[in-house]
Structure 1
Amino acid sequence: MGFSVLVVDDDQEIRDVLHIYLRNEGYRVIEAEDGLQAIEAMEREPIDLIILDIMMPRQDGIMACLKIRETFEIPIIMLSAKGEDIDKITGLSTGADDYMTKPFNPLELLARVKAQLRRRNAANQAASATSEIIIDDLIIYKDQHLVSVRGQNVALTPIEFSILLLLASHRGAVFNIDSIYQKVWKDQSAFYSDNTVMVHIRNIREKIEANPRSPRYIKTVWGVGYKIEK
């Protein structure tokens, strides 16, 4: 599956144009009309990059960027009809990675999208080369498929280890049950039970949490899925 790009703009024509260009490059495109819808979309499914307009109703791009940066580290390209330097500085200071002024050339924006995704992919590969993931007193040894909690080794099944590694490798991202199933089992089947994933999550918690009823590591985002916080 290709990268997922979230396009956030209250202008339907701009969303339509970007959707066409991005889809033609093989990207999966999700659309939102304002910052609130954008955050809701990010809580539902993993997003690899955001194209975020500044001037929008309900919640503008500046406030949305600040909110997104509380949890997510994915690339954000801001769009604005304003071209003054102060607006660019404001956008970048809130956490945006790049900034374009409207009207813009869709091909130039597409080139910037590719550049940001290449940079993120290279960073992820560098992180993947690290053989350990340390989250407080939880240590995941990727090469050895071992887990240690509070100085004690924990025996996880291969599936349990894969689920934990998925969540730990994308800290802050919320994965719904479908995403976990597809990424861990490598299966697009629609005939599995939600309990398949839920039971494994429960088993992992029983093994790594001091109090499984009040988990410290794997958090439930009710109605959405699971995550490991930063």
Structure 2
Amino acid sequence: MARFRARFWDPTGARYGTPTYPWRAAPDGLMTRRQLRAEGLRPGGQDPVAQILWQSKARGVRVAYLYRVDRARPVRPMTEGRYRALAAAMRARRTCPTCRIDRGYVISVRLGACVPCADSESSPASSNPMGVAVTGAEHYREAERLLEFVSCGDAHPGHAGVIYAHAQVHATLALAAAQATQITGLYVDADTYTAWRDAIGDHASNPYR
């Protein structure tokens, strides 16, 4: 077993407090919520009995909880009332509080607005609604977040193209910020350097550590 996978191998729970397995190593009879859903099942009120841990370049260590399949119950049928309630809840999460437009993806809590509104309000003379300036490193992280959001299947199928476009905008702005620093020969402070290294997942050559 590879070293990074062995790090998360703890079937007895001695290290993590609950039985833990690396990605794609869960035993038979246990499934995540998403896997249960694909089989037309739901946890049915049971508590997780184990977990999967894996390393994500963009978000660090991720976790997915495992449930016993033999205790799972069939998914409740989707009634018209439940469909309307869920649709309204998801529409509210996709609606930007600034421009009031349904953007087709869940609005980032960190930005506090949709990508266009956050970008337009994050000039040097102002800040976005959350009071956080969007730096080159943050553009890089947001591009990765949006791409992961689509690849995980969380986006509405009809809006994947829009989210990809926003991800490309963030990636382009991140590249422009990185190239501008190199071309102009600017020296960045330790915090800015560390933010870039954290974003790209490389700490080995950081002189400030």
TM-score by length of structure 2 reads 0.32
Bigger fraction of residues in strand: 1
Q: Which structure ranks higher in relative contact order (CA pairs < 8 Å, sequence separation ≥ 6)?
A: 1
Q: Rg bigger for which structure?
A: 2
TM-score by length of structure 1 reads 0.30
